[in-house]
A and B are shown apart, each in its own frame.
Chain A
């Protein structure tokens, strides 16, 4: 899939980076403001304080000894000011300068800032405070602000550079991160699209970093594994159904054809029998699917396994006797578990039925229930070890059993019920015969 050139701009990572950048800029502005307040602001405030103090002292001299006192004070101060940063002006009521180094009497009293041409010819920014004198005339006190202004300029230029660099780094970083995220997401997307397209073997690349993408990819891969195994199982079942249902359907068709030619009661009964057998198969398939879906777990109650086993043995013992078999039991009383009584009954009935049907004529069958679980053993031909897994599959009838009646769904249901209850089921060689062992949950 072609990735649009600016796709990364739509990625979450890029957006998060942008947001982060904005927050950082805001934070930096705050810090910058603080620095400004502490340096430039401090300088300006200090100058204003000095001016106010000077003004106060001079006005006090004026109050004690009139304009003359002010003039003397100004001269003394100017003589003491070696940096040339102090400016004064004492003007008479006529606007004439009486003392000081400033020219030009301000029109209004109060604070103002101005530029002053220094004797050397340079210009300097100056902060001035003008105050009217009681007997007419005015007093002006000023301070050179050059150093403050220089600091200010440096701060502004530094802030500009830092800001530009931050913006660049932030944008660049966001772009890089956004791109890498977009690339990884695109790779995952492509892999999943391939799976969706039917390539069930495709898996996502899992990096070694163990970050959230790797964890997500690993999880998706596990899900895909499960999907694939389900698909494989489904395909297997479909194949089995196609294979195993075609035969009885064909037989049904043949019998119906025969009944159409000669509609005798026998021919119709034969067709009905085939149809019933097919319906049984469907019912069994449906039941297995229902059990495997696990919804029955909601109805679990405390079940007396011993009682169920006793009852099932009672039902099947006469059928076994008819085949000359001895159906023996070794059932410990009071073995209980959590489960669905109807399903457990059917599980045991299927096992008993299998034992009776596949056991040897005149043989022995033993149904045993104990604390570890239950076993049912017959002394029939058994099942070769390499066929055990196959025996559990739907329609997984062994070739040797194809001639005997049965749908091949009995053990599949048994396993589905056992697994629903968290029990483990194994087939063992009873030498001779077959032993089915079902271990209760938590028993190994």
Chain B
């Protein structure tokens, strides 16, 4: 993927760029909003990572200008402040996701992947399938190898969230935000607890695990290994 990173702090920028390049992406870097706008309107990027506080032109205005130019490249904001108001402001300016500094690189990478692979408004799926696991979104029924699995509504949502992102790493915070609408990090290991319960229902008793833990990053649902 080609990723545009707009970040004025050299050390943070180097950290992000190095990580993304190691992950096999092509990275353009801009150090201020004007430069970022120039690169972004040049087009050809799959995702842009934009710091909110930038010299010359702040991140919000930059993304607003990019959107005004009719460019729909998904944007993820980085910010030191991630209050609800800040997030709303970012989304309203045309951002697609929001990540509070400091962040783990795995978190950024997972979110970038999620943004880039977001299906471009295809027809609504009614059945999700991963291996022999099947989720009927209309009848709200989950089966594995033809066997019915009973899930609580919240477990259903958690599994749906994971299955919709088959093969992608989903982080703890993505789950907290996407499944429970928690925009903070509880100290209690609620995510782990819910995943382990879901696992007990989905994977236990079957020869192959579908829900995998990626150490230091999060979880992924996939059929192969």
Contacts and interface: CB of A to CB of B under 8 A. Distances in A.
Please say whether chains A and B are actual partners in one complex. yes
14 contacts: A279-B102, A280-B187, A295-B85, A299-B84, A319-B188, A342-B183, A345-B181, A345-B182, A345-B183, A346-B182, A346-B184, A349-B182, A356-B188, A357-B187
A322 B193 contact: yes
Given A315-B180, A318-B197, A322-B193, A340 B84 contact: yes
Interface string B75-93: 0000001011100100000
Contacts of B83: 287, 290, 296
Given A318-B194, A318-B197, 5 more contacts: A315-B186, A318-B190, A343-B84, A345-B183, A346-B183
Contact of A353 (B81, B152, B187, B193): B187
* Chain A CB within 10 A, most for which of B84, B187, B194: B187
Interface string A271-294: 000000001100100110010000
A397 B127 CA distance: 50
Given A315-B182, A345-B181, A296 B85 contact: yes
**6 cross-chain pairs, A with B, having the tightest CB-CB distances, nearest first:** A342-B84, A318-B193, A319-B193, A319-B188, A353-B188, A346-B184
Nearest to B82: A283
Interface string A313-351: 011101100100000000000000000101101100100
Interface in A336-389: 340, 342-343, 345-346, 349, 353, 356-357
A137 interface: no
Interface of B: 81, 83-85, 88, 100, 102, 152, 154, 180-190, 193-194, 197
A316 B154 CA distance: 12
Contacts of B84: 296, 299, 340, 342-343
A209 interface: no
A406 interface: yes
A345 B189 CA distance: 17
A153 interface: no
B185 A280 contact: yes
Contact of A405 (B184, B187, B194): B187
A311 interface: yes
B188 A357 contact: yes
* Chain A CB within 10 A, most for which of B102, B183, B190: B190
Contacts of A315: 154, 180, 182, 186, 190, 194
Nearest to A353: B188
A311 B190 contact: no
Contacts of B190: 315-316, 318-319
A319 B182 contact: no
B189 A319 contact: yes
Nearest to B191: A315
A201 to B, nearest CB: 36
Contacts of A346: 182-184
A290 B80 CA distance: 13
Contacts of B186: 315, 349, 353
Contacts of B188: 316, 319, 353, 356-357
B98 to A, nearest CB: 13
A299 B189 CA distance: 30
A396 to B, nearest CB: 17
A161 B183 CA distance: 84
Contacts of A280: 185, 187
A71 B186 CA distance: 129
Contact of B85 (A283, A299, A316): A299
Contacts of A345: 181-183
Nearest to B189: A319
Contacts of A343: 84
